[in-house]
Amino acid sequence: MHPERRRAPETRRALDLLLGRKTHEGYCLGFEVARLLGAEPARGFISHIARFDLALLLDLCARVGASSEDERVNDLVGFVASLQSPYGMWEYASRP
């Protein structure tokens, strides 16, 4: 959210590393939102298993300035859109 650092080369490099993952997990789409709302317990004080919430990653892409012109971002958008139900919603499997 910093006006200058969000466009810094370090930020772009970190985004490149996150977008470099070859796999997409649909089961944790919305995990961070559920955790922030209190539906998921905040765990991992001693150890942490990373969950790659694609919604959070797309939000980060928007904040940094990566658009859907980037093939990796466009691939993420397509994958998230494929998980959408016929009613236009996404189901969070752990807490439907």
User: Does residue 96 carry a pLDDT above 60?
Assistant: no
pLDDT tens digit sequence for 53-81: 888 888 888 888 888 898 999 999 999 99
User: What residue has token string 């990796």?
Assistant: 72
Q: Which residue has the higher pLDDT, 84 or 49?
A: 84
User: Does residue 84 carry a pLDDT above 80?
Assistant: yes
Task: Kindly state the average pLDDT of the residues 15-32.
Answer: 83
Cα separation, 90 vs 28, whole angstroms: 11
Quote the pLDDT of residue 4. Answer: 77
